[in-house]
Structure 1
């Protein structure tokens, strides 16, 4: 990778830093339904409730995978049994899935909101925080429309505040920055390695090619024989042991040879790259 290209990547990285990036669980953004112009507040509240149930179930399955069930406390096991019973009783209902557009059966969802088990026994702050919205929504469904609209606004604000406070951040700002730096360094190293491999393989191919030209072969014949010699010099792994070796293998098609040769010729003509460096 050229210095100019490298500088472009770091400039882009700096621009990203200035935007204070974080990684957030996208499902937490799906909880707020978009709705349509003629939606009633009752329908939107029901959609909120359905999405919260879906999100809460998703978080529960993440926190308590089946493989770790033997490590749970008695209260946690008891709670998960209640959740399992809840799912089984509504397994044929679409009300267990995210519905970002607000098209729901509000009376059916209201029943689910009242039935969903309270995660308080688990002591998990995140699950409890998510759940505390559910009984509030269930109560608001029976309120007058004007009050419901006000409550929907308040609900959206509070949910966004939870996102800002980092409740659903997969990585906070500093961790996101470190992740970006790690990725960028790895990406640059990979590109740099591929770039130099192409030059190195192009130099090898060029030696074969020039040798055959010197022997009097036509350009096309010299290229063909150079490619065949290159393929012979780089056999692909055939055994399991060879496959496990940390070794990079070049492409051997005619197109790959042209790409390597072009990279070599471009590097050779550059004042920053010497023949000695290419041969290393």
Structure 2
């Protein structure tokens, strides 16, 4: 049986790429029965009825999957956040980073619209960028208007499946248009009434850019920690994970425990206070989550 990769899912159809040929497939009823939903990024076995149509028979084992956006087998998440319009949000970025880290996906932070930032704002953004770099993240400052920083992105996408994700209106589609002009993806300005972006991407689709595949995804502004437990959270903050090696007690949650390496690192300035605050807020959110039965 032929095999391929789902590169687009739309209106009940799955578009499977095999040897540069696109086959439009439907899922067999067995998927609904077993509650398996094929996702963009899935490696699948399919049966072709002709050169252009067929049915998906099997979904290969996934190495990871995201729910929002719905995509599987991601190597890298390019988290796109704007310097302004909408303003850069560390708490929203940290929510994205936690989800990405938990799913063992390599994150890349891309800050857009640098050309629109004032001098003072640029200084603040540069400070944030340095702090995230110190935590162990790759950070690239870009502008779709001036194309600043764009060339730095290409080496990071080669030979990978990357997902573009971030708040609506930050310029994901504009950035993709610069990376590959022939895409001509639809873009919209942010809503002046709502103060956030209008959704321009309606479905998940993998697109070839350079020597890699990138998924443009519908923008969204909230993330749930449904599958993350309290003991998992430290590992989703690389600098906290490193500092926790100096904690006296195994299983330390870095809240009220004595001789905590993380709290000492925060007090000494080794970990930014806002990152630690976000950790505490997320920890409480997980604790307050209703138990699943």
TM-score range for the pair, normalised by the shorter chain length = under 0.3
Q: TM-score, normalised by structure 2?
A: 0.21
Q: TM-score, normalised by structure 1?
A: 0.21
